């Protein structure tokens, strides 16, 4: 697969861009989908440099295992992530996505691996 030629970061970008509107995913789920379950940290780090990347990566749809907005500090504004999520119909309270389990998007399942 020529898809394997791209860097781990680019693979992360592609998967995150597949997250539909109104859905969210987690770093671990994406890492596992890429075959690197222990590289969950890299997923978040990849998103850290995903700002100048195009097409834009919906990094706000990627949360941690508990549905916490752990990366909101890395956005242009601390509340940008929450605003974007709420704009997609989610409910955020105390940096926690109450609709996380409900709107969770698992690439392993959705992409029918």
Partner DNA sequence: CGATTGACGTACG
Partner DNA sequence: TCGTACGCCAATC
Residues that bind DNA (CB under 7 A): 7-9, 26-28, 31, 36-51, 59, 62, 64-66, 70-75, 81
| Residues 44 and 34 sit within 8 Å (Cβ to Cβ) | no
- Minimal distance, residue 93 CB to DNA, in Å: 18
Closest CA to 51 of 28, 74, 83: 74
| Residues 17 and 57 sit within 8 Å (Cβ to Cβ) | yes
Pick the closer one to DNA by CB: 41 or 91.
41
- Minimal distance, residue 31 CB to DNA, in Å: 7
Pick the closer one to DNA by CB: 73 or 96.
73
What is the rounded distance in angstroms from the CA atom of residue 36 to the CA atom of residue 43?
A: 10
Tokens (6 digits) for 45: 């780090």
Pick the closer one to DNA by CB: 26 or 92.
26
């Amino acid at each position: 697969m020529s898809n394997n030629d791209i860097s781990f970061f680019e693979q992360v970008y592609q998967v995150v861009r597949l997250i539909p509107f109104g859905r969210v995913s987690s770093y671990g789920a994406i890492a596992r989908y890429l075959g690197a379950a222990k590289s969950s940290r890299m997923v978040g780090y990849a998103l850290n440099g995903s700002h100048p990347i195009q097409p834009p990566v919906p990094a706000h749809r990627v949360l941690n295992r508990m549905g916490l907005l752990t990366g909101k500090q890395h956005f242009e504004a601390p509340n940008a992530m929450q605003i974007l999520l709420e704009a997609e119909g989610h409910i955020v309270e105390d940096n926690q996505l109450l609709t996380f389990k409900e709107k969770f998007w698992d690439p392993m399942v959705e992409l029918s691996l």
